[in-house]
Amino acid sequence: MKKSFADFIPQNKSFIWLIILIITLLWGYAWVLMKSALLYMGPFTFSAFRFGTGAITLLFVVLILKIGLPPKQYWKHLIVVGILQTSIVFLFVMYGLEFVGAGKASVLLYSMPMWSSMLAARFLGEKLTPSKFTGLLIGMVGLLTILGWDIWAGQSFEMIFGEILIIIAAVSWGIANVYYRLHVQDLPKIQASGFQMLFGTIGIIIATLFMEWGEPVVLNAHSIYYILFTGVFASALCFTVWFVVISLIDMVTATIATLLVPIFGLVFSSLLLDEKMTMSILIGSGLIIIGIIIAQVKVKRPRPD
């Protein structure tokens, strides 16, 4: 009997949380590279390169492991996940980054746990316990604190437009998480991640041909590094492991944990892009961490005598 990718991950809560920490750290750093890549090519072109690289990497691994093609009944579901999680999320995010800073964009996208939690309660029957609800609420307050008052006033139309695009991407990612659990979870994780990324990349390429045909593309040491890191590590590796994580623990807990990503995104943006680290960012980050901790609290019910 062949072992799946998940079989190699110890069923240990501390180890799973270490994996989540590594994923969120890599995704946080990727935001800086995504923003920097716009100096060398259009947002859709970069996304096509990034996810094309990620899909090729994963499909090569599928070939090496002799996993084969998914059964025919899964293809339509993989196409849906690919469109929701790869095409829509990253086309909208990359276009939004032209108008919104990398740190703020990462904060907006990680409103995703709110949408995932609501959808998981409705379609997966997962209970939003008082501790999880409180943790999620505190985390969302933390995100709003990081955004500050400038999200409500004093913004240009272009910035508001970019923020709306990224929020739509967050909703799409939330839907993709639940749809994956409903229809694709039984597939090997590398296979599911590789084929959904392939279909999502096809959608991105089509959009790129329509929107950025003929625009200049600069390939040098910097831009190739951005493509390879985000394609191989932040996409192929992280999204495969993410599918494993949401299969091992409940959706609400997993998605609340991703609130760490904007914290790392803001730290890296401050260090590498000179985006300001304000007091509201520090307070908001603290609230997010508190929210994640509270969400893990399990209330022990008294045993009946």
Closest CA to 248 of 184, 182, 300, 181: 181
Return the higher-pLDDT residue of 192 and 159.
192
Residues 87 and 200: their CA atoms lie apart, in Å, by 5
Residues 153 and 15: their CA atoms lie apart, in Å, by 43
Q: What is the pLDDT of residue 79?
A: 97
What are 16's two structure tokens?
Answer: 């799973």
Q: What is the pLDDT of residue 57?
A: 95
What are 79's two structure tokens?
Answer: 């196409």
Residues 267 and 274: their CA atoms lie apart, in Å, by 10
Say whether pLDDT at 305 is over 50. Answer: no
Return the higher-pLDDT residue of 17 and 45.
45
Mean pLDDT, the chain, integer? 85
Q: Where are the domains of the chain?
A: 11-295
For residue 77, what pLDDT band results from cuts at 50, 70 and 90?
very high
pLDDT 10s digits, 128-169? 788 888 888 888 888 778 766 655 556 677 888 888 898 899
Alpha helices, DSSP H, located in the chain = 13-37, 43-64, 72-81, 89-96, 102-109, 112-119, 130-147, 157-183, 189-211, 221-228, 238-248, 251-257, 260-272, 279-295
Residues 212 and 223: their CA atoms lie apart, in Å, by 17
